[in-house]
């Protein structure tokens, strides 16, 4: 009898371990878009990416198995998304800011599923908002006053929404958001998704916006000068044109508002001669670059605070 019970206990234990192993999820994060660069593979929760040296560095990911909650802040706080198996070549919807992850697997008495259902209900409600492809909100997490936008806006001043946006929902297309009127200053492109907190990207700094084609060029712009239809400058947060990025088409006296101060690790100049300086207001060491691709910035690496075209 004892042997029979022991065999049964061993059988149940092995069965449980097999099921647990089969259900264990796996997620790989990459430092560059398109599943490239340094990678980290996870099979369990990570409360703070600082512990693994990967905080705010993920630019793409592959979910091999399981359902994962991916969050902008440590301890599963901030804007969080539930993602299932598949490839995610860009992480624009999270602003390339991931600080914690965990597998959900329907735990917590179904609270994760109910939360995702409520989010989907809110998405459906917004999709029905007169067909507006973009909704701007003056509070985080899609709260507060909202502004539906259906086309290009040269200036949000007349619409009473200048420098007010703190969160965004995009249901259609890729959109470029810029610091100044007429698509000037530092600009960023966001694709479809919910952006619950722009504190790390464009917190209360959006003045103009327009829909862009896949290449990142404004649909109504007629002054692009070659280089695949692009103009100005692109700054990247890591060497080799990886990580987060912003576009600049006129002078930016300080990159602080665009959350890109001292972050540039590489850059592309599409047209003209541009001066890049260590400090705001074009002070400190400055270097001029002409058209070309600069995959490393030497002494200016993570040191650029202001940018302007000089000729």
Residue 295's domain is classified under what CATH number? 2.60.20.10
pLDDT tens digits, 5-39: 545 444 444 444 444 444 468 999 988 877 888 88
> Do 14 and 81 lie in a common domain?
yes
Which of 212, 245, 272 is the C-terminal boundary of a domain? 212
How many folded domains does the chain comprise? 3
The mean pLDDT value for 240-257 works out to: 88
Kindly state whether residue 163 falls inside one of the protein's structural domains.
Answer: yes
Evaluate whether residue 66 is within a structural domain. yes
Task: Tell whether 125 is covered by a domain.
Answer: no
Distance CA 51, CA 57 (A): 13
Of the candidates 157, 153, 195, 161, the residue with the CA atom closest to the CA atom of residue 177: 153
Identify the domain containing residue 238 by its residue range.
233-309
Is residue 124 assigned to a domain?
no
Residue 44 lies in a domain: yes
Task: Tell whether the model's pLDDT for residue 296 goes beyond 70.
Answer: yes
160-181 residue pLDDT tens? 999 999 889 888 888 888 888 8
Please indicate, yes or no, if residue 224 is contained in any of the structural domains. Answer: no
Q: How confident is the model at residue 225 (pLDDT cuts 50, 70, 90)?
A: very low
Do residue 237 and residue 186 come from a single domain? no
Residues 84 and 167 in one domain: no
Residues 141 and 207 in one domain: yes
Per-residue pLDDT at 182? 87
Question: Does residue 151 fall inside a structural domain?
Answer: yes
Q: What DSSP assignment string belongs to 182-238?
A: GGEEEEEEE-SEEE---TTTTTT---EEEEE-TTS-BTT-----STTT--SEEEEEE
Q: Does 245 map to a domain?
A: yes
- The pLDDT tens digits of the residues spanning 79-102 come to 788 888 877 777 765 656 798 999
Same domain, 10 and 103: yes
């Amino acid at each position: 009898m004892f042997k029979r019970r022991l065999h049964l206990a061993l059988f149940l234990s092995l069965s449980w371990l097999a099921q647990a192993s089969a259900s264990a999820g796996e997620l790989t994060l990459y430092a560059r878009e398109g599943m490239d660069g340094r990678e980290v593979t996870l099979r369990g929760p990570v409360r703070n990416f600082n512990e693994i040296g990967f905080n705010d560095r993920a630019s793409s990911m592959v979910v091999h198995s399981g359902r994962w909650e991916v969050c902008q802040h440590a301890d599963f706080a901030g804007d969080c998304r539930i993602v299932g198996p598949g490839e995610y070549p860009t992480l624009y919807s999270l602003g390339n800011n991931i600080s914690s992850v965990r597998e959900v697997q329907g735990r917590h008495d179904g609270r994760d599923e109910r939360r995702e259902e409520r989010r989907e209900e809110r998405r459906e409600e917004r999709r029905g908002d007169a067909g507006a492809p973009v909704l701007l909100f003056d509070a985080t997490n899609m709260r507060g006053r909202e502004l539906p936008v259906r086309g290009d806006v040269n200036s949000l001043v007349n619409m009473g929404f200048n420098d007010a946006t703190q969160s965004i929902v995009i249901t259609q297309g890729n959109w470029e958001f810029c610091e100044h009127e007429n698509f000037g200053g530092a600009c960023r492109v966001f694709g479809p998704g919910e952006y619950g907190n722009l504190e790390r990207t464009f917190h209360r700094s959006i003045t103009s916006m327009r829909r862009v084609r896949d290449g990142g060029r404004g649909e109504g712009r007629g002054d692009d000068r070659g280089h695949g239809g692009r103009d100005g400058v692109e700054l990247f947060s890591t060497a080799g044109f990886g990580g987060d990025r912003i576009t600049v088409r006129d002078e930016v006296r300080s990159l602080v508002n665009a959350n890109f101060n001292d972050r540039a690790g590489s850059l592309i100049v599409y047209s003209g001669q541009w001066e890049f300086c260590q400090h705001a207001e074009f002070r400190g060491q400055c270097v001029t670059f002409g058209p070309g691709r600069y995959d490393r910035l030497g002494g200016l690496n993570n040191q650029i605070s202001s940018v302007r075209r000089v000729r």
